[in-house]
Structure 1
Amino acid sequence: MKHTQSSLKIGIVLSSIPGYSETFFRNKIKGLQSNGLDVTLYVDTFSEVPQNLSCKVVSAPSLGNGFISKTIASCVAAVKCICLHPKRSLKHYNLDKADGLPFKHRIKNLLLNQYLLNQNLDWLHFGYGMLANSRENVAEAIGCKMAVSFRGFDLYLSPLKHKNCYKVLFSKKVKYHVLSEKMKHTLIANHISEQRIHVITPAIDINLFASGDYTTKAKENLEILCISRLHWVKGLNYVLEALAILKSDNIDFKFTIIGDGEERERLVFAAYQLGILEDVTFAGKLSQTEVLKALKQSNLYIQYSIQEGFGNAALEAQALGLPCVVSDADGLQQNVLHEKTGLVVPKRNPKALARAILELHSLDSEKKQHMADFAIQRVRNEFNIEKQTALFLEFYSN
């Protein structure tokens, strides 16, 4: 039974419940619910549901670790497939067979996806591309529409790590959501019809990041901030090299990185070898309140990623009127407007980055204020939650 738009049932599939920094999903869920849509979150790994997440959460059953527990869990899943939703299970099996999957893979997919096969939805929306892997036929099996979001890493890097990972997905009738025009053109290059691709950028709570008490007062020292997971794709090693260039030119600065990740030790050592460790603070993960405070205490924001779907933190910085220097990676070119809300420079080029930092810092107060005002107004007009919600309502309308 299909529903009117105000009562559409939307199932969003994620690997886990959105963390504190994954505001995109939280904002989306909240916006859809406020417009009367019924949203259920399906996760592979269950954790405690935070108080500010109001939707229903369904977790995939564990198939166990040891041989005996795996065997028991698999038998239970098989019984559910046969007894609870036999028609859907058979349809899923046959669809996988039509895709040329080996018998073993068909059975495995059936057992892994059985918790989804009894759901009654209008849309099954996979929050990342790789989450649709081995689940390409679930939506058709349960009689609903299928959507997939690509957020950057999954579109550009996952196919390098998992060859042909989207071969089956790209053959299906799927509606795609991407964060930027650059990502849209990447899908088109993979022979996806333009009509099936919708660009919906991230959005921020503009009231939380209102410019308020932030001013563009000139500071003698550079107070530079980056909010990023410590991963090689974020290009932080190039940022450190650029800052080493500034230090060699006797430019005083303080650089703070908010975030944590697998590259922390390597980056700390790189800062030490470059002679700038005393000028760099690895702040780790901070609360939203602490992040906001750090943004207001800075006078320049950097996002120098090698690959970036869009970059919420750069939007937050612009919402406060903070000048931004970003790389030309993917969605960052759409996020920051070159010479209007900041500077966009070629990635992997520490010398160009160092020049851009100096150029922005050297702007006179009038030009800085003009850039800040333009950035604030643009974020408020183009990247607010209300606009994002309206676009997702339109996305699910047909």
Structure 2
Amino acid sequence: MQKKPLNKLKIGLVLNLVPGYSETFFRNKIKGLQSQGFEVLLFVKRVDVTIDFPCKVIVAPEFGLSLLKAVSNGVATIFKILFLTPKRSLRLYRFDKIDNIPLKRRLKNLILNQFFLSYNLDWLHFGFGILAYRHENVAKAIGAKMAVSFRGYDLYLSPLKHIGCYDLLFKKDVKYHVLSKGMKQTLIDYCVPANSIHVITPAINTGFFKLQNSSVYKEDTVINILTIARLHWKKGLEYTLEALKILKQKGISFKYTIIGDGDQYERLIFATHQLGLSEHVNFIGKLSPTEVRQQLELSAIYLQYSIQEGFCNAVLEAQSMGLLCIVSNAEGLDENILDNITGWVVPKRKSELLAEKIIEVIQLKPIEKQRIILKASERVNQDFNLKIQNKAFNDFYRNLS
């Protein structure tokens, strides 16, 4: 494949859906790459809503909505295989055959991957590890390099749900992006070569989520506590609620706000009721970044007591805004927070320990609270800003091309 000029590398990013306005990571990444001369195409399985997006979006054809739609898309796909992408289709078929993929799956792969095969790319980058499952040979078939990002759930939980899902992937020539050193070690434990794994931590807009003078901790009668999380079991919210019940029993006045939505809403509402916390806990749903910032400005303590977590941008935002952060030791969180330096790390699934730590933090002297706040904000601004992230991805693509 003829190498393109330095500033003309074309990257295909693969996601399930077009990221929404509040899902800033991929939007920031795409804008950062474009500002450095990359051309970015976004490949998605479907589009739930029509939203503005900063790059071209290619949507996979649907084969399951209706019989008429399936037949129409099927005919169009067969035409592409025979007349538009015959050489690439044949290569994909042969690569799958070498990997001993069954005939039925090989034919299905030809159909499902046609929306990739029509494009000339330098990189095909799967935004989550599980998205590369059964697409391991597509990049090679189109003459592109292959990259895969792991973000937490896809590395730690997907292999439990889909046994052997990464067996073929880990044998391929792939460059991996992970969020933390812990995740890198997990891939090494899977026998992935260390030089193929690149740690690029999340980053935030530190100019938007910025420490204000008013954000420095003040002694309030009622302690405002905040969590930003999808209402999912892996976020450990029931353990958090159990810890807050202990605070209530000890006579500590607090208000706990949870930003986010998810399929565990009813369960958590009922748990809040059973624990006698209904007057103290407020579920306010999903908010825009501006509304999130407003809630951060109103809060003093941030909790992220997850059972599983890749890294967590919300913890970076909270540190940058001057909140005292208490997190679990789930995966990347103990790299996000430096224990007793920029916040506190508590072993997961230990509600009593979490309650003790919250009380300890509340009772710290104001000068100690300010020391932690300023150190955390300084570290986020220096190490987790978008400029650093953009440079890291620029190096990832250019130096490995």
Q: TM-score range by the shorter chain?
A: over 0.9
In the TM superposition, what is the alpha-carbon distance from 1:48 to its structure 2 partner?
4.5
Q: What letter is aligned with 2:115? A: Y
State the TM-score, normalizing by the size of structure 1.
0.98
- Within 5 Å, which residues of 2 pair with 1:47-66? 47-48=48-49, 50-51=51-52, 53-66=53-66
Paired positions, count = 397
Counterpart position of 1:307: 308
Give yes or no for contact 1:92–1:137 (8 Å, CA) kept in 2: yes
Find the counterpart in structure 1 of residue 292 from structure 2.
291
| Counterpart in the other structure of 1:342 | 343
**Over aligned residues, Cα RMSD in angstroms?**
1.1
Deviations 1:42-68 (A, max 9, x none): 1110245533x3111111111243445
Which sections of structure 1, spanning at least 5 residues, go unmatched? none
Once the two structures are superposed, the pairs formed by residues 346-365 of structure 1 within 5 Å of their partners are 346-365=347-366
Partner of 1:396: 397
For residues 105-254 of structure 1, the aligned pairs below 5 Å read 105-212=105-212, 213-254=214-255
The offset of 1:73, in angstroms, is 2.2
Q: Do the aligned partners of 1:43 and 1:58 also contact (CA within 8 Å) in 2?
A: yes
Q: Percent identity?
A: 53
Residue identity in the other structure for 2:203: A
Q: Write the letter of the residue equivalent to 1:203.
A: A
Is the 1:64–1:73 contact (alpha carbons within 8 Å) kept by the matching residues of 2? Answer: no
More off after superposition, 69-78 vs 217-226: 69-78
Give the partner amino acid of 1:94.
Answer: R
Q: Name the CA distance, whole Å, in 2 between partners of 1:65 and 1:316.
A: 40
- In the other structure, the counterpart of 1:83 is 83
Q: Which residue does the alignment assign to 1:100?
A: 100
Say whether the 8 Å CA contact 1:8–1:38 is kept in structure 2. yes
Aligned partners of 1:59, 1:115: CA distance in 2, in Å? 8
State the Cα deviation string for residues 230-278 of structure 1 (Å, max 9, x = none). 0000000000000011111111111000000000000000010011111
Equivalent residues of 2:310, 2:333 under 8 A apart:
yes
Aligned with 1:148: secondary structure? strand
Classify the secondary structure of the residue corresponding to 2:16.
strand
- Aligned partner of 2:370: which letter? Q
214-223 vs 36-45, greater mean Cα deviation:
214-223
C-alpha distance in 1 between matches for 2:24 and 2:343: 23
Q: 1:216, CA displacement in angstroms?
A: 1.3
User: 1:313-368 deviations in whole A, cap 9, x for unaligned?
Assistant: 00000001211000000000000110011110000000000011111111111111
SS in 2 for 1:278: coil
Rounded Cα–Cα distance in structure 1 between residues aligned with 2:391 and 2:130: 26
Task: Name the structure 2 match of 1:376.
Answer: 377
Distance (whole Å) between structure 2 residues aligned to residue 221 and residue 340 of structure 1: 25
Amino acid at match of 2:41: T
Deviation at 1:100, TM superposition (A): 1.1
Any conservation in 1 of the 2:27–2:54 contact (CA below 8 Å)?
no
Q: Report the AA paired with residue 202 of structure 1.
A: P
5+ long unaligned stretches in structure 2: none
Cα drift, residue 153 of structure 1: 0.3
- Opposite residue 54 of structure 1, the aligned amino acid is P
- How far the C-alpha of 1:21 sits from its partner, in A, is 3.2
Q: Which amino acid aligns with 1:188?
A: I
Q: Structure 1: which 4+ aligned runs deviate by more than 6 Å?
A: none
Q: Which residue of 1 aligns with 2:27?
A: 26
Q: Which moved more, 1:381-390 or 1:96-105?
A: 96-105
Residue 312 of structure 1 aligns to which amino acid in structure 2? N
* SS of aligned partner of 1:187: helix
Match of 2:74 in 1: 74
Asked whether the equivalents of residues 17 and 49 of structure 1 are also in contact (C-alpha less than 8 Å), the reply is: no
The correspondence of residues 259-298 of structure 1 with structure 2, limited to 5 A, is 259-298=260-299
> Which has the higher mean CA deviation after the structures are superposed, 242-251 or 74-83?
74-83
Q: TM-score, normalised by structure 2?
A: 0.97
Q: In structure 2, what is the Cα distance between the partners aligned to 1:196 and 1:360?
A: 41
* Alpha carbons 1:325, 1:342 under 8 Å: kept: yes
Q: Is the 8 A contact 2:16 2:45 kept in 1?
A: yes
1:5/1:37 contact within 8 Å kept: no
Q: Does residue 44 in structure 1 map to residue 68 in structure 2?
A: no
Distance 1:35 1:49, change over 3 A: farther
Deviation at 1:8, TM superposition (A): 0.7
User: Does the Cα contact within 8 Å between 2:20 and 2:51 map onto a contact in 1?
Assistant: no
